[in-house]
A and B are shown apart, each in its own frame.
Chain A
Amino acid sequence: MVIDRAPLLDRVFHALAHPARRSIIRRLAAGEQNLSELASPLKMSFPAASKHVRVLEGARLVRRRISGRQHMCRLEAEPLKEVTQWTEQFRGHWEARFQALDALLEEMQPQDAAVTNPSAPTPRRRSAPRIRRKTS
């Protein structure tokens, strides 16, 4: 079981990498549900849904308790918070880069306007030769 030995963060990312499991998490955010309730909107068999829940359990995102014939699932938010903080930091890093790019673009715009403005002509470079010879 390679997945089980992987660091928790990897297991959480793996768990979040599947749309069915994200759907389960979203619904569990509203409160505890049993496995059949979770499986039905996914158009999935009970065993298939159970498998996804097992992956979520492995990432400590979901806790399952068995009550009679019901498998009740509950969201455990703690590992998700860690991932959110961590990736938000990463998104923030790229967003900071793009904000630097915004500033650079703003700086470039007046220069660009001066170039394209006909009242401020700039010397043009000669373009390619007019006569083109066919090459064989």
Chain B
Amino acid sequence: MMTAGLQVSTPTDTTIRFTRVFRAPRHLVWNAMTKPDLVQRWMFCPPDWSWGKCEMDVRVGGKFRWEWNGPNGQTALSIWGEYREVQPHSRIVHTERMEMGPGAGGACGGATAADTGATPEPWELLAALELGEQNGSTVMTMTLTFASKAARDGALASGMEHGMEAGYAQLDAQLAQ
């Protein structure tokens, strides 16, 4: 049985994968992840940030843009890209670029480019979202594919790994003894 919490893994040298189970049928998860008014209700950033733009034209060739403003009202973070594959209720593949703006005091829960020495230039990745349904629950898998291992490692180091491999947590427990 899968746990409900977020799981993060690195299946290959150029990918990061997130898995999460939602206790709802997948058409609802699909709506919550593809309709801008619903997306804005859960995909928040730090408490002092607010949504700037949330535009999503979910069809092949359509574009999306998410922007958050920092406390000073300036853009803190922009994420944008284009949809490459759209299979309603089951699969979306989109390109993704992100850029920190002047409104970002600190990054979205991680280190800033300046902290880590990573290049502040936007880089592109491919995000594949898959939704499967099991007994009324939805299993979400999000796989991020980077252009190279270096790009993936850079993303890990600059805070794009939204978590860590279950094994590390296990190791941490061992180390805490």
**Residues in A lying within 8 Å of B, measured CB to CB:** 6-7, 9-10, 13-14, 16-17, 22, 25-26, 29-30, 75, 77, 80-81, 83-84, 86-95, 97-98, 100-106, 108-109, 112
Structural contact, B24 and A106, CB atoms closer than 8 A: yes
One of B76-84, B122-130, B159-167 contacting the partner? B159-167
Counting contact residues on chain B (CB < 8 A from A), the size range is 35 or more
B72 at the interface (CB under 8 A from A): no
Please, could you name 18 A-B residue pairs with CB atoms under 8 Å apart, sorted by A?
Answer: A9-B157, A10-B116, A10-B157, A13-B153, A14-B153, A17-B13, A29-B171, A29-B174, A83-B164, A87-B164, A89-B109, A91-B8, A92-B163, A94-B109, A104-B41, A105-B23, A109-B28, A112-B27
Structural contact, B161 and A90, CB atoms closer than 8 A: yes
Structural contact, B28 and A81, CB atoms closer than 8 A: no
Structural contact, A105 and B109, CB atoms closer than 8 A: no
Given that A100-B41, A102-B23 are known contacts, is A108 also in contact with B32, CB under 8 Å in the complex? yes
Structural contact, A90 and B162, CB atoms closer than 8 A: yes
Given that A6-B117, A91-B8, A108-B24 are known contacts, is A84 also in contact with B161, CB under 8 Å in the complex? no
Look across to chain B and name the residue whose beta carbon is closest to the beta carbon of A30.
B174
Q: How many A-B residue pairs have CB under 8 A?
A: 122
By a CB distance below 8 angstroms, the chain B residues around A102 are: 22-23
Beyond A90-B161, A94-B18, 11 extra complex contacts between A and B, CB < 8 Å: A25-B171, A75-B175, A83-B168, A84-B164, A84-B168, A90-B159, A91-B8, A97-B42, A97-B44, A100-B44, A106-B24
> For the complex, what is the distance from the CA of A86 to the CA of B112, rounded to whole Å?
12
Query: Contact partner of B32 among A6, A88, A104, CB < 8 A?
Result: A104
By a CB distance below 8 angstroms, the chain A residues around B41 are: 100, 104
Look across to chain B and name the residue whose beta carbon is closest to the beta carbon of A100.
B42
Look across to chain B and name the residue whose beta carbon is closest to the beta carbon of A5.
B117
Look across to chain B and name the residue whose beta carbon is closest to the beta carbon of A99.
B42
